[in-house]
Amino acid sequence: MARTIQDKIHLALLKRGEQELKHLTGCIVMTRSAGGCYYLGKAGSLRFGATRSGSIPVSNSLKKTLISEGE
């Protein structure tokens, strides 16, 4: 079965030991070992921060690494 970008990033974060906290409208909230949370959007957007509204995007290099780990 083909995985979406969101599926690949979600799987990679789970493999790294992060935990899924909850599903919000349009995103999955996951723990972040460095503090705060990851916010994973349906189209594969990935942000981090203490709150969803105050979050910032992760670097493109981290996102590409996570996508390749989730394949």
Q: In the structure, what pLDDT confidence band is assigned to residue 2 with cuts at 50, 70 and 90?
A: low
Phi then psi dihedrals of residue 46, to 5 deg: -135, 125
The CA radius of gyration of the chain, in Å to the nearest whole number, is 11
| 3/62 Cα distance (integer angstroms) | 19
Burial 4-20 (b: 16+ CB within 10 A, else e): ebbbbbbbbbeeeebee
* pLDDT value of residue 71: 87
> If DSSP codes are grouped into helix, strand and coil, which group holds residue 29?
strand
| 33/56 Cα distance (integer angstroms) | 16
List, for residues 3-40, the tens digit of each pLDDT value.
Answer: 899 999 999 999 999 999 999 888 999 999 999 999 99
